Chain A
Amino acid sequence: MKRKLLVALFTLVMTLSITATAFAHGAKIEYTINVAVEIRAAYDTDKPMAGGQVIVYAPDDPSTPWLEGICDDKGRFTFTPDPAIPGTWDVQVRQAGHGDIIHIPIGEDIIMTGGTGYTPLQIGLMGASVVWGFVGTALFFSRRKS
């Protein structure tokens, strides 16, 4: 009886080890999340900056380009920053002496969307205040001398 049990146990262990060997041919997946950044460059008129030249600067070396590229027809450009270099990534787009720089925080204080520029209402209000300043100056200097 004892012997029978031993044989049974032995068979079980063998079966298990064979199965284990079979599982060694399975696949294994690990994951890390990489954030891809898509930028869209356009002129004030909202015309996309098609073919604009993009230069990406990493936070650890803001003077040497980390990546260079070209915007597509819709002024878009996508890149994946290295997660090992957290900080503020600077992306410059230029075309024909026009262009802008955007600062994108990557890492713990990541901000999912952002941009440079103002809404039409803000622009209208700021423009009107400045124009009123000029008109006021003109009125002040053309006042009647008492």
Chain B
Amino acid sequence: MHIPDGILPAAVCVAGYASTGAATWYSLRKIDQKENPQAGVPKASLLTAAFFVASWIHIPVPPSSVHLVLNGLLGAVLGYYAFPAILIGLFFQAVMFQHGGLTTLGVNATVMGIPALLAYAIFRLRNFLGRKYDHQGRPYRVLTGIFGFLAGASGIGLAALIAFTILVTTIPANIDVDAEQASITALTLAHVPLMFIEGVFTVLVVLFIQRVKPELLEEN
């Protein structure tokens, strides 16, 4: 998922930076339109820390192993703050641990950040479906749970799909294309169980937030 330096051709890296620039500009503009743009910074900062640490949590999926990404969770909880949060998290992962790379920062931010914005859109759909509050006036937990799962699972699923497309279409001719293709496919399929895990994790987090501090999810 974190594509390192030296794997992708220069044109793809430049295109990645272009799309990341556009998405960052769009997100910051949306944040600036809020009544108090700074209000969301504390939760965005804490979830950036979670995103930064999550890539150390490896989950063995034979024959390989995958790590948590949490981009769907960031999308659902942070909304438009998610894209800058992911960009900053990726920057520190690349600079500190060479997890990802600086030339591929734009590509990686696009791969993980755009699905986060999509997860946000999915999570917001719950407001348009069915009743929002139960008969006691509390937020309706079932819808939050279902759409939390969809947001978490689709975030990582779409990210894996975009990464797969980018990697498979840019395999250099001087290596064994078939072997590389097979290992990329195997790694992408290993993300299917991860979709389930991240979906469940997102459900747990959003239901917890809804119980202890529901106003954090109100505007989302």
Contacts and interface: CB of A to CB of B under 8 A. Distances in A.
A98 interface: yes
Contacts of B56: 44, 127
Contact of B7 (A99, A126, A135): A99
Of A47, A95, A116, A123, chain B has the most CB atoms within 10 Å of the CB of A95
Contacts of B32: none
A98 B186 CA distance: 13
A92 interface: yes
A96 B64 CA distance: 11
B99 to A, nearest CB: 7
A141 interface: yes
Interface size class of A (residues with CB under 8 A): 20 to 34
A19 interface: no
Nearest to B185: A96
B183 interface: yes
Interface residues of B, number: 35
Contacts of A137: 41-42, 45
Contacts of B176: 53, 70
A135 B43 CA distance: 10
A100 B101 CA distance: 10
Given A47-B65, A126-B96, A127-B53, A97 B45 contact: no
Given A68-B175, A70-B176, A127-B53, 10 more contacts: A51-B183, A96-B64, A97-B3, A100-B4, A117-B98, A134-B45, A134-B52, A138-B45, A139-B42, A141-B42
28 contacts: A44-B56, A44-B58, A45-B58, A51-B183, A53-B179, A53-B180, A70-B176, A95-B183, A96-B183, A97-B3, A97-B7, A97-B163, A98-B4, A99-B7, A100-B6, A100-B98, A101-B5, A101-B6, A116-B98, A117-B98, A127-B96, A134-B48, A135-B45, A137-B42, A138-B41, A141-B38, A141-B45, A142-B42
